[in-house]
Structure 1
């Protein structure tokens, strides 16, 4: 689960750089939306990964 959280975090950084930097132009609104969706998913997966890890070990 932590692996997925890291993947989504990296995706959020990339989407944020493209969307907030002005490079995306007309797609900036979509990039901002995807950025926040990916950040939320990354945080949820991180929390789940930590809690499941504690229950297993």
Structure 2
């Protein structure tokens, strides 16, 4: 899979879907990669939670 840069700092992607009608169903796959090294990370927090918010908007007439 090729890496694609975000469109802007606040917009990840913008795509047109031709002939997508009310009631149609589509599927999106979102992959989030988190990495890093935290010396204060303890095994006590394994199984913790990570919360993400995603907004998907439909804009007519583009």
Alignment TM-score, normalising by the size of structure 1: 0.27
Which one has a bigger Cα radius of gyration? 2
Of Structure 1 and Structure 2, the greater helix share is in: 1
| Higher relative contact order, chain-length normalized (CA < 8 Å, sep 6+) | 1
Alignment TM-score, normalising by the size of structure 2: 0.26
